Structure 1
Amino acid sequence: MSQRAMLCPRCRRLIGSSESSCSWCGTPRPKGLWRISAWTRGALDGDWLVKAIITANIAFYLLSLLMGGLQPTGNPFSMLSPNQTGLMLMGATGTIPIDRFGRLWSLVSANYLHGGILHIFFNLMALRQISPWVIQEYGSSRMFIIYTLGGVCGFWVSYIVGVPFTIGASAAICGLIGALLYFGKSRGGTYGAAVYREVSGWVVGLVLFGLVMPGINNWGHGGGILGGIVLGKLLGYGERRRENSFHHLLALICAVTTIAVLGWAAFTAVMIKGGS
């Protein structure tokens, strides 16, 4: 019985009926339903994780509006912007929150805060596009590690250079971009070169956007990309190293830490707001 053309389970390009492996990424043609089933289960797990991150970002954006109200602005790019009081209460980071108030934990919470409806919209659109690709190459656990620690790294760099007040998921998203940059360069071949070329275009776009638009934390972006590259190298990607118990444990630590920090930020914000 002749085999049919099919989509590659890794890069989603077409594998011809006469090909035993994908000509783009080199993945062997799946044999048997169990491989397809296993890949599908992994995709579903990753999709759940991305939805959870998006939900947390939206929830904290709404809470920051409730805690401080709207920031008066005539800038259309700052529509529905939480004021600085609400953002500070909910865990914005920078030299002011860390040096004056000892909020080192804000390096985590700031990744879930946004300065306006367009800010959160574009960041979550980017997350929805990039994160499945990182999950495909690194797995769900490593993706969440890179997202969490890449964001911390980005905000730590911006703190070191003296950025006083900053928020946004873009530092964490840049961590994912850095991991894809490392993957594309390290893997090589037709598929690796295509990944590296496309992700490099995103980096160029980020740089240009940061130069044109005021208020962009370019240090956070750069630190996130650098952190993602380092984490991609240290953690490895699927073709070279399967996810193991260490990756799952580290992802669990990142998840517990994130939940604890966000819970603490919300609790202290309510207590401070209630006592004022």
Structure 2
Amino acid sequence: MTTPERRSILCPNCGRLISRDEPACPWCGTSRPGSWLKNNPLTRSVGSADRLVTMIITVNMVMYLVSLLISNHSPGHGGLFSALSPDQGSLLALGATGVVPIDRYGRFWSLLSANYLHGGPLHIFFNMMALRQLLPLVVQEYGAWRMLTIYTIGGVCGYVLSYLAGVGYTIGASAALCGLIGSLLYYGKSRGGVYGQAVFKEVWGWVVGLFFFGLIVPGINNWGHGGGVVGGIVLGFLLDYRERRTENLFHKFLAGGCILATAAALALGLLSAFVTFAGRSLH
């Protein structure tokens, strides 16, 4: 007599090894973890912090390379760093945000696209290094879906505040990264205990460093940083973390809406850049 084959999968929510036939994950309580709706290539990719880091870095790199390709650099002028820094026109076309793009051109979608644009090799390098350090911790404590929402809406909060403060033109992933920082500040303070205090102290060091960096280095969007941190704290409170509430269908729909809105904003930026580049080629 043969026994039925026991197929093992990783829970799409907590990532632990379980049987596909479990009615609910014995670790996190996710119902029907083996169903196709919850265990398909898309949800498996979203559930992995490493894959999320790779996906977000890839999108940032693609947008950075496109900005370099359409930049109007004069040959032989400015050196290597100048050649690797996109001009303002290309960044504006791709979706830089601020008072000028929003008030003059009505580009409200740039509040999303600006999070994926960078002004030079050091700018994108340091932001992506910070992403690689912060994102896995937020996924660990909040889950992948809530992390995507915090990253997206936290970035929008940062750029809304900088717009209200009158910043004319701004780009970079740092507003969204500050959203992650804010959510970890809330988590550490709310959870408490030795671990919570350790998280809070470590992330507070990031906040202090950003503050002094913004005071010393010209051109830093401190309003964007501050708005991102505050937005992350509020989102951490509203969405809650894993120890209090497991991720549910609402969190997935919210993250899905953030993904679709970001994709639409980036598509508009690429279309705008294509029109700009085509018009430049005709002259």
From 156, 161, 180, the counterpart of 1:157:
161
From 253, 257, 262, the counterpart of 2:257:
253
The answer as to whether partners of 1:182 and 1:232 remain within 8 angstroms in 2 is yes
Is there any run of 5+ residues in structure 2 with no aligned partner, and where? 1-15, 20-24, 29-43
Distance 2:27 2:271 in 1: 40
- Does residue 171 of structure 1 match 2:175? yes
Pair 42,166 (structure 1): closer, same or farther in 2 beyond 3 Å: closer
**Root-mean-square deviation (Å):** 2.4
Q: CA deviation at 1:38?
A: 7.8
- What per-residue deviation string (whole Å, max 9, x for no partner) do you get for residues 49-80 of structure 1? 2211110000001111112244975896x672
From 94, 116, 123, the counterpart of 2:127:
123
- Does residue 48 of structure 1 match 2:51? yes
| Corresponding residue of 1:64 | 67
The answer as to whether partners of 1:61 and 1:114 remain within 8 angstroms in 2 is yes
SS of residue matched to 1:214: coil
Counterparts of 1:79-90 in structure 2 under 5 Å?
80-90=84-94
SS of residue matched to 2:169: coil
The answer as to whether partners of 2:158 and 2:231 remain within 8 angstroms in 1 is yes
From 201, 205, 226, the counterpart of 1:222:
226
The answer as to whether partners of 1:79 and 1:118 remain within 8 angstroms in 2 is no
Distance 2:80 2:189 in 1: 40
Is there any run of 5+ residues in structure 1 with no aligned partner, and where? 1-31
Q: CA deviation at 1:232?
A: 0.3
The answer as to whether partners of 2:185 and 2:200 remain within 8 angstroms in 1 is yes
Pair 42,80 (structure 1): closer, same or farther in 2 beyond 3 Å: closer
From 120, 136, 140, the counterpart of 1:136:
140
The answer as to whether partners of 2:98 and 2:169 remain within 8 angstroms in 1 is yes
- Does residue 265 of structure 1 match 2:265? no
2:188 maps to amino acid: G
Q: TM-score normalised to the size of structure 2?
A: 0.81
Pair 33,112 (structure 1): closer, same or farther in 2 beyond 3 Å: closer
| Corresponding residue of 2:18 | 34
| Corresponding residue of 1:232 | 236
Distance 2:154 2:272 in 1: 25
Pair 269,43 (structure 1): closer, same or farther in 2 beyond 3 Å: closer
Counterparts of 1:174-213 in structure 2 under 5 Å?
174-213=178-217
Distance 2:45 2:59 in 1: 21
Q: TM-score normalised to the size of structure 1?
A: 0.83
Pair 56,33 (structure 1): closer, same or farther in 2 beyond 3 Å: closer
- What per-residue deviation string (whole Å, max 9, x for no partner) do you get for residues 112-156 of structure 1? 000000000000000000000000000000000000000000000
Distance 1:38 1:230 in 2: 28
The answer as to whether partners of 2:53 and 2:132 remain within 8 angstroms in 1 is yes
Pair 99,206 (structure 1): closer, same or farther in 2 beyond 3 Å: same
SS of residue matched to 1:68: coil
The answer as to whether partners of 1:158 and 1:217 remain within 8 angstroms in 2 is yes
Q: CA deviation at 1:272?
A: 2.5
